[in-house]
Amino acid sequence: MTAVEDDRRRAELVTALGAVRARIAQACTAAGRDPREVTLVAVTKTHPARDVATLAGLGVLDIGENRDQEVRAKIAEIAELGEHFAVRWHLVGRLQTNKARSAVSYATAVHSVDRPKLITALADAAAQRRSAPLEVFLQVSLDGDPDRGGAVPDRVPELADRVAERPELRLRGLMAVPPLGSDPDVEFARLAELAADLRTRHPDADAISAGMSDDLEAAIGHGATHVRVGTALLGRRPPLLS
């Protein structure tokens, strides 16, 4: 990339970040919430490591990705750029158990934990490879279709207990992606109910990871503490690599 292209991209990201931050602030005002309760996770999947470095330089240190391999490549590239930002990596996509060892070596949080085997794999790997607990969000499948990831709501209490049993993990709360074509208001209201249920047994698990480029306002209206924003910040992704 030339210096001119670099400057242009940076300007694009500055503008997009301003717009997203304004949307978050407005949604918080509408919901009577403090914007500091909402963490912006910039989902940089398919976009270059340079964008991660630029966002980090602008103060966006929470970075979301959905493939272990892609994060590892970006971490290496950022190091090559000579950038030293304390990026907090959030894995938001489906994670295979055989990637647990790798994931715990860099991730701050995994938002897509949805089955007992993955909980065990992450906890065992974290026991060997890290000192700080790995933050865990349980992904809920709101339409009960397990193909897109997520546990059916009935299984959440059991999964939550399993996470809470392991000192290597810290149960943060719930995550969901609304089913395609659904009404986000309805889906996020349901997620908020499930999150309230969870807090009756696990009062510290008070985070809700919900809301993306198109529906972050609805999510904030229903208590989201982490919004995962890709397209609205970084632009469209190449179609084959969602």
Ligand X SMILES: *Cc1c(COP(=O)(O)O)cnc(C)c1O
Interface with ligand X (CB under 6 A): 43, 45, 66, 92-93, 177, 212-214, 228-232
Write down the least CB distance from residue 239 to ligand X, Å.
Answer: 13
Residue among 113, 61, 121 nearest 91 (CA): 113
Comparing CB distances to ligand X, the nearer of 168 and 210 is 210
**Residue type at position 37:** E
CA pair distance 37, 182, nearest whole angstrom: 26
Write down the least CB distance from residue 216 to ligand X, Å.
Answer: 8
> What is the SS3 assignment for 241?
helix
Write down the least CB distance from residue 225 to ligand X, Å.
Answer: 15
Comparing CB distances to ligand X, the nearer of 107 and 166 is 107
CA pair distance 7, 29, nearest whole angstrom: 33
Comparing CB distances to ligand X, the nearer of 23 and 50 is 23
Comparing CB distances to ligand X, the nearer of 168 and 217 is 217
Comparing CB distances to ligand X, the nearer of 74 and 166 is 74
Write down the least CB distance from residue 167 to ligand X, Å.
Answer: 27
Comparing CB distances to ligand X, the nearer of 125 and 232 is 232
Buried b (16+ CB within 10 A) or exposed e, 37-61: ebbbbbbbbbbebbbbbbbbeeebb
Helices (H), 97-183: 100-106, 116-129, 156-165
Write down the least CB distance from residue 156 to ligand X, Å.
Answer: 18
Q: Which residue is nearest to ligand X (CB)?
A: 230
Write down the least CB distance from residue 204 to ligand X, Å.
Answer: 23
Q: Are 42 and 234 contacting, i.e. CB atoms less than 8 angstroms apart? A: yes
Query: Would you state the structure tokens that stand for residue 143, as one six-digit string?
Result: 């339409």
